[in-house]
Chains A and B, each alone.
Chain A
Amino acid sequence: NAGVTQTPKFQVLKTGQSMTLQCAQDMNHNSMYWYRQDPGMGLRLIYYSASEGTTDKGEVPNGYNVSRLNKREFSLRLESAAPSQTSVYFCASSEASSGSYEQYFGPGTRLTVT
């Protein structure tokens, strides 16, 4: 099993450009998440999807949109990138019904906005 995969691994954008970060999981998990990680701040939740067809805002949703395309895929879109969105983005999935809530993370996307 691949677990959680993310594309691309690296990206450089100019201010104002748009892009979509892709995430897919093959563990049949219901819940998926997008986080950003900045130095000294820990991971912060951008959006999450408790199940297929639902999405909710996390701590830092401004400037982002998400789509839960199906149970496997959860994409994150930056409509107009800003330098403040330079960060490492992690997608994660979990199966809350198992009771463990363990989150499995993808390898991350390193995004630089100039």
Chain B
Amino acid sequence: RKEVEQDPGPFNVPEGATVAFNCTYSNSASQSFFWYRQDCRKEPKLLMSVYSSGNEDGRFTAQLNRASQYISLLIRDSKLSDSATYLCVVNIGNYGQNFVFGPGTRLSVLP
């Protein structure tokens, strides 16, 4: 089993739709969790960290379920500019050196 797995995608949704991405991780010692966004042929950029209590940043909501080893990202009111690949990232180290990236889920928001 891969350490970090994500919905295979791609997701094609109309503007204004709500879309949810799921991610599971296998290492119960994982300590911190993130969602990164990667545009086509560009570098990944941090979208948001994921906290145990769940957190929201505008139209984006991230949830963590440690018991089920599951992370989610919800995007409300999708914009064309949300089209990108979303990477689930899990850190299993103490000093940030063991980031494990999921393969990514591609989102296309259609006009």
Which residues, 39 to 57 on A, are CB-close (under 8 Å) to B?
A: 40-45, 48, 50, 56
A45 touches B99 (CB 8 A): yes
| Closest residue of B by beta carbon distance from A100 | B49
Counted as pairs of residues, one from A and one from B, with CB atoms less than 8 Å apart, the total is 51
Interface segment, A62-70, A72-80, A103-111?
A: A103-111
B96 touches A42 (CB 8 A): no
Partner of A50, one of B32, B43, B44, B95: B95
| Closest residue of B by beta carbon distance from A4 | B43
| Closest residue of B by beta carbon distance from A59 | B100
B97 touches A50 (CB 8 A): yes
B43 touches A108 (CB 8 A): yes
Query: Majority SS of interface residues in chain B?
Result: strand
Beta-carbon contacts of B14-25 to A below 8 Å, as 1s and 0s?
Answer: 000000000000
How far, in whole Å, are A106 and B98 apart by their CA atoms in the complex? 18
How far, in whole Å, are A44 and B103 apart by their CA atoms in the complex? 10
How many chain A residues touch the partner (CB < 8 A)?
23
A42 touches B87 (CB 8 A): yes
| Closest residue of A by beta carbon distance from B44 | A105
| Closest residue of B by beta carbon distance from A40 | B103
Closest CB of chain A to B88's CB: distance in Å? 9
Partner of B96, one of A41, A90, A94: A94
B interface residues (Cβ-Cβ under 8 A, vs A): 4, 32, 34, 42-46, 49, 87, 91, 95-99, 101-104
